[in-house]
């Protein structure tokens, strides 16, 4: 069985404060896009989990979130058969697009289905939270407000149709470092999340794009100026707005026209600033068959 693990972007990302347990309280608008990894799962008679990945630098043991997700359910339900899984990664790694979390979500959904465990979406989301704060959202997908550490989810109406250009420079940013270097006493511009929710409800793409903002961006793009350069290039080439996703370094631009997006993609490719350039659109869970 094949499952798609969809990437996410943060249309808006705010950090409210640090909690006593070391995590941060956030407020974010999450959106799934049509960029995905593919997870193939099959049963095998011998017990245990075997995982292969198309990228040599991604671990295939317990360090891989897919492995952990499968093990979590198989241990809980004392599954005696084994699984063989292959992960074909396309979502850039350590990019702020929740690639690993989405792979874990696909593994939860996949193992639940292949062994007929009978868990509901809500029950899969609860188990996903023990793997990572973004995993419940990756099970849910679509447009959502995420609060708490990212696990308190409120489904929003679908964001208005638009085109999304992804540009990821060839650098890596660790999420942990991004939080550690965040100075909560001087965050600079904060996103108007309530205003963005109103724009989404009204189907107002321009109002939504206008309110895109990520509190991590000034700090991370200060360290890596190529992020700002990619953002400026997208905006000079027709993006309604471009911002960084998650803790970076991926930048995404929102376009109201596919041709404009394609042209901007060409300019970005020729600039040599981005290692990954990918033009896509929003993904709506209802329109296509769920996780498969």
Give 133 or 162: the residue with its C-beta nearer to ligand ATP.
Answer: 133
Q: Annotated catalytic residue: which of 37, 89, 134, 168?
A: 134
Element (H, E) at 35: strand 24-44
3-state secondary structure 38-104: EEEEEEECCCEEEEEECCCCCCCCCCCHHHHHHHHHHHHCCCCCEEEEEEECCCCCCCCCCHHHHHH
Candidate list 58, 117, 226, 281; residue touching ligand ATP; CB under 6 A: 58
Does 88 sit near ligand ATP (CB under 6 A)?
no
Task: Please give the Cα distance from 108 to 156 (Å, whole number).
Answer: 23
Contact (CB, 8 A) for 101 and 68: no
Q: Is 125 helix (H, G, I), strand (E, B) or coil?
A: helix
Least distance from ligand ATP to the Cβ atom of residue 19, Å: 18
Does 150 sit near ligand ATP (CB under 6 A)?
no
What number of other Cβ atoms are within 10 A of residue 175's Cβ?
Answer: 16
Binding mask 108-137 toward ligand ATP (x if CB under 6 A, else -) reads --------------------------x---
* Best CA proximity match to 16, nearest among 151, 185, 209, 169: 185
Nearest-CB residue for ligand ATP: 100
Does 64 sit near ligand ATP (CB under 6 A)?
yes
Does 171 sit near ligand ATP (CB under 6 A)?
no
Does 60 sit near ligand ATP (CB under 6 A)?
no
Give 107 or 240: the residue with its C-beta nearer to ligand ATP.
Answer: 107
Which residues contact ligand ATP by CB under 6 A? Answer: 58-59, 63-66, 89, 93-101, 103, 134, 175, 246-247
């Amino acid at each position: 069985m094949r499952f798609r693990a969809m990437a996410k972007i943060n249309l808006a990302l705010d950090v409210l404060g640090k909690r006593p347990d070391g995590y941060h309280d956030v407020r974010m608008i999450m959106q799934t896009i049509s960029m995905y990894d593919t997870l193939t799962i099959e049963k095998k008679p011998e017990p245990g989990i075997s995982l292969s990945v198309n990228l040599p630098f991604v671990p295939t043991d317990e360090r891989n979130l897919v492995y952990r997700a499968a093990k979590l359910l198989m241990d809980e339900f004392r599954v005696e058969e084994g699984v063989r899984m292959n992960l074909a990664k396309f979502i850039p790694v350590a990019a702020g697009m929740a690639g690993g979390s989405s792979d874990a979500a696909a593994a939860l959904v996949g193992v639940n289905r292949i062994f007929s465990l009978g868990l509901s979406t809500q029950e899969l989301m609860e188990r996903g939270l023990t793997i990572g704060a973004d995993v419940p959202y990756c099970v849910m997908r679509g447009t959502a407000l995420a609060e708490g550490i990212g696990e308190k989810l409120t489904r929003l109406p679908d964001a208005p149709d638009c085109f999304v250009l992804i540009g990821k420079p060839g650098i890596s940013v660790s999420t942990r470092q991004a939080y550690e270097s965040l100075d909560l006493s001087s965050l600079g511009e904060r996103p108007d999340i309530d205003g963005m929710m109103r724009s989404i409800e009204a189907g107002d793409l321009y109002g939504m794009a206008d309110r895109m903002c990520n509190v991590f961006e000034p700090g991370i793009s200060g360290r890596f100026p190529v992020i700002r350069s990619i953002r400026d290039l997208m905006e000079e080439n027709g993006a309604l707005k471009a911002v960084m996703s998650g803790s970076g370094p991926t930048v995404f631009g929102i376009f109201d026209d596919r041709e404009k997006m394609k042209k901007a993609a060409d300019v970005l490719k020729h600039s040599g600033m981005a290692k990954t350039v990918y033009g896509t659109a929003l993904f709506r869970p209802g329109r296509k068959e769920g996780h498969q």
